[in-house]
Amino acid sequence: MATIMDGKALAAEIDMRTANRIQRLADQGITPGLVVILVGKDPASQIYVRNKERRAKKLGIHSIVRNLPETISEKELIKIIQEYNEDPTVHAILVQLPLPEQINEFHVTMAISPTKDVDGFNPFNLGKLLINKTDQTPIACTPQGIMSFFKKYQINLDGKKAVMVGRSTIVGKPMAALLTNANATVTIAHSHTHHLSELTREADILIVAIGVAHYIKAEDVKPGAVVIDVGMDRDSNGKLVGDVDFESVEKKASYITPVPKGVGPMTITTLISQTVTMAEWSSEKNG
Ligand SMILES: NC(=O)C1=CN([C@@H]2O[C@H](COP(=O)(O)OP(=O)(O)OC[C@H]3O[C@@H](n4cnc5c(N)ncnc54)[C@H](OP(=O)(O)O)[C@@H]3O)[C@@H](O)[C@H]2O)C=CC1
Ligand SMILES: Nc1nc(=O)c2c([nH]1)NC[C@@H]1CN(c3ccc(C(=O)N[C@@H](CCC(=O)O)C(=O)O)cc3)C=[N+]21
């Protein structure tokens, strides 16, 4: 049976260190400020926003949620983002994805100031990640949270075969870059990939972010693999489940993340710690 990687416990451990950093900023009169913009009613985004609010409050960062109507125009949304770009009490801006059809995601990522881009999806920050020059660079929170799992459980990536299933800007692509920078041999798979199972069965490290409940089964996994499940899906009973069929894969993998209490809590912890880091950068620059 695989070791279950406990995202809730690791998140609590990291939050303790973050709390000390928040205290140090408070001593200088600074409160880290985070704005989350939620357009419409995506269910995975709603879970995220709810849990994030709870943790932000507990730790004492200033968090604002801007709920905007599904019908908002791209122009209006970008204007709101620009206001937060100018606001010195805001250190981090997050626009929940997916966005409604009338809004071009690329235009939105371009509108967020690179210094406030806590999701790391502005092309400037993504470019720095790609060339492995990540000093003072925000990086997508979910992939970074996954790297914290590897560190905590002492999983060596050097020379390992890693397969990333999913190529989104927010999970798959930055995750593949982080793995490459850590000297893994990385394959990115997506909906056009042929014979996916043959690829995943070769993976020492298998990371899945596709949004299809229980898609990866035991037969798709190499014995002893490390399996990371990013999915936030609903099964036929409406229960929150991942992209990996946990019950069968748990018997074959060496390490596995559960859903819930795996990657999800780590995304939130990383979001908060990165908001604090961005407030620290801003205070270094101004102080
Ligand atoms: N736990 C957490 O913190 C987070 C969880 N999530 C969850 O992770 C999942 C993925 O999110 P996100 O990356 O934003 O999703 P996107 O929908 O943006 O991307 C999904 C990716 O999966 C690929 N894909 C879809 N179906 C298949 C398939 N059958 N076989 C192979 N590849 C496939 C798509 O391919 P193509 O590019 O060809 O369309 C695409 O690259 C969702 O469940 C989401 O809710 C997301 C962010 C954070
Ligand atoms: N710009 C942007 N960045 C994101 O990172 C982003 C996004 N948009 N859109 C939506 C997805 C989804 N996502 C989640 C993060 C944490 C949980 C989470 O807290 N999960 C708990 C759920 C517990 C419960 O049931 O409440 C867990 O897995 O244990 C869920 C979902 C971030 N996303």
pLDDT digits (tens, 9 = 90+) for 183-233: 999 999 999 999 999 999 999 999 999 999 999 999 999 999 999 999 999
CA distance linking residue 171 with residue 128, whole number of Å: 16
**Per-residue model confidence as pLDDT tens digits over 246-280:** 999 999 999 999 999 999 999 999 999 999 999 99
pLDDT digits (tens, 9 = 90+) for 107-127: 999 999 999 999 999 999 999
Q: For residue 286, report the phi and psi dihedrals to the nearest 5 degrees.
A: -90, -25
CA 252 to centroid of chain Cα atoms? 26
The predicted pLDDT at position 272 comes to 98
Q: Where in the chain is the domain with CATH 3.40.50.10860?
A: 29-114
Closest by CA to 255, choosing from 143, 155, 146, is 155
Confidence category of residue 164, pLDDT binned at 50, 70, 90: very high
DSSP tag of 183: T
In ligand 2, the atom with minimum distance to the C-alpha of 7 is 29
| Best probe residue, ligand 1, of 214, 220, 232 (max atoms within 8 Å of C-beta) | 232
Task: Please state, rounded to an integer, the average pLDDT across all residues of the chain.
Answer: 97
Catalytic residues: 52, 96, 119
State how far the alpha carbon of 107 is from the alpha carbons of 69, 172, 179, 190, in Å: 18, 20, 27, 24
**Cα separation values, 179 from 154, 156, 157, 220, 248, Å:** 15, 11, 7, 21, 26
pLDDT value at 78 more than 90:
yes
Predicted confidence at residue 285, as pLDDT, reads 86
State residue 38's pLDDT score: 96
Predicted pLDDT at 287: 72
Distance between CA atoms of residues 270 and 142, nearest Å: 7
For 16-56, the pLDDT digits (tens) are: 999 999 999 999 999 999 999 999 988 889 889 999 999 99
**258 by DSSP, 3-state: which?**
coil
| Helix pair angle (43-59, 7-27), 10° resolution | 50
- As a whole number of angstroms, the distance between CA 130 and CA 182 comes to 12
Does any ligand 1 atom lie closer than 6 A to the CB of residue 110?
no
- The residues near 180 (Cβ < 8 Å, ≥ 6 apart) are 186
Does residue 233 line the site of ligand 1, with CB under 6 A? yes
Return the pLDDT at 43.
87
pLDDT above 90 coverage of the chain, percent: 95
Instruction: Tell me the one-letter amino acid at 263.
Output: V
d(CA 129, CA 120): 9
Whether residue 40 contacts residue 71, with contact meaning beta carbons closer than 8 Å, is answered with no
Cα–Cα nearest to 90, from 63, 120, 108:
63
Pocket probe mutation, ligand 1, options 49, 55, 193, 210, max atoms within 8 Å of Cβ: 210
ipTM of the complex: 0.98
pTM of the model: 0.98
Q: What single-letter amino acid sits at 75? A: K
Residue 142 CA: nearest ligand 1 atom is 3
pLDDT at 212: 98
Q: What CATH number should be reported for the domain whose range is 141-264?
A: 3.40.50.720
**Ligand in nearest proximity to the CA of 47:** 2
Could you give the count of Cα atoms lying within 13 Å of 222 in the half-sphere of its Cβ? 18
**Closest Cα to residue 39, out of 91, 86, 132, 104?**
104
Task: Report residue 286's pLDDT band, with 50, 70 and 90 as the boundaries.
Answer: confident
Residues with CB under 6 A from ligand 2: 44-45, 47-48, 51, 94-97, 119, 141-142, 170, 232, 240, 259-261, 264-265, 267-268
Question: Relative to the alpha carbon of 169, which ligand is closest?
Answer: 1
- Quickly name the fold that domain 29-114 has: Rossmann fold (3.40.50)
What stretches of the chain adopt beta strand conformation (E)?
A: 3-4, 33-39, 62-68, 92-95, 161-165, 185-189, 205-208, 226-229, 233-234, 240-241, 255-256
Beta strand 233-234 with 240-241 is antiparallel
Residues of the chain with CATH 3.40.50.720: 141-264
For residue 255, report the distance from its CA to the centre of ligand 1, in Å: 21
Mutate which of 38, 48, 58 for ligand 2? The one with the most ligand atoms within 8 Å of its CB, which is: 48
